Structure 1
Amino acid sequence: MTSVAPDDSSGSSRLEHSPLAEDLGFLLARASAVSQAAANEALAAHELKVRSYSVLALAVTGGRPSQRELAAFLRLDPSQVVALIDDLERRGLVTREADPRDRRANVVAATLAGRSLYRRAQVDVETGERRAHAGLSIADRAELTRLLRVVAFPGGE
């Protein structure tokens, strides 16, 4: 019978020097998981998670996006977006309205309650993000943001 050495408290320090820890795709996914965990922790007090917060943020700041636009931008299946909007709508945070550009589609608009909750949640998310990325200088964070935009929006500005 073989025994497995106990992991440290993070459970991953032994693996940080594996070839996988040099793989860009893995590092992006792991960094995303770390960021999402911090954001979800910050959003818990508002009964939101990253995905519902993202829909609310785009409804508040995104110029009345259609459900199709939300799905494409967030890289989610349209059925997932419908469920997120249903929940936000049930909570009185957003409304669905006919899209003036395409009457067969709906746009999502934030309510006053949605705008208010978003402002409070945004402060907590930013605080959580600063904690999660405390190892980066302000300049490093700006550069990382710039580089991630290049990866996330190829061919963009």
Structure 2
Amino acid sequence: MPRTPSDTARAASDRLRESDLGTDVSFLLARANALSVSAGNAALAPFGLKVRSFSVLALSAGEVRPTQRDLSEFLRLDPSQVVALVDELEKRGLVERRPDPADRRANVVVATEEGRSLHVQAAAATRAAERSLHGDLAAPDRRVLADLLARIAYPG
């Protein structure tokens, strides 16, 4: 029986998986991240969001009341990227910039009622996408993975 293009691609992927790069921890983290971002963006598309804009919305929907600088540092994004994300969400009426009570020179980013409502719906979609992507992992393994990733993401 002739091989299909997907069979050929799968065979090549299997061969590459056995390479030194295919077992490199940093590469595996990057590949897992790419798959996760792709699944997240697909789940968020119906809400007009992507993973980065959802991250800003999610953080602004909580009680933390982050500044744009906080968002930039936590999300590991250039400040100009955060400004663009906040601008986009603000234009849609999902977040507001408000003066930071602790520092008048800074603004905190706060989700509006509409933003909080959209966040709840979008968060459910991202959780479903995550369950699908991580479906091969048992709950205890997911907790171990989350703990290990947290140790890398938040050293010290």
SS in 2 for 1:76: coil
Q: CA deviation at 1:61?
A: 1.5
Aligned partner of 2:76 in structure 1 is: 75
Q: CA deviation at 1:13?
A: 2.5
Contact 1:7 1:14 survives alignment (8 Å): no
Moved beyond 3 Å, runs of 4+:
none
Q: CA deviation at 1:135?
A: 1.0
Which amino acid is the alignment partner of residue 96 of structure 1?
R
Structure 1 pair 8–59 and aligned structure 2 pair: CA distance change class (3 A): same
Cα-Cα RMSD:
1.6
Aligned partner of 2:109 in structure 1 is: 108
SS in 2 for 1:106: strand
Contact 1:67 1:78 survives alignment (8 Å): yes
Structure 1 pair 148–40 and aligned structure 2 pair: CA distance change class (3 A): same
Aligned partner of 1:12 in structure 2 is: 13
Distance in 2, matches of 1:46 and 1:133, equals 22
TM-score, normalised relative to structure 1: 0.92
* Cα-to-partner distance string for 1:89-148 (whole Å, 9 max, x where unaligned): 000000001111111111000000000000000000000000011111111001000000
* Cα-to-partner distance string for 1:59-83 (whole Å, 9 max, x where unaligned): 0125110000000000000000000
Structure 1 pair 86–20 and aligned structure 2 pair: CA distance change class (3 A): same
Identity of aligned residues (%): 54
Which amino acid is the alignment partner of residue 127 of structure 1?
A
Compare the two structures and name the one with the higher helix fraction: 2
Comparing 37-46 with 7-16, greater Cα deviation is found at: 7-16
Q: Which runs of 5+ in 2 are unaligned?
A: none
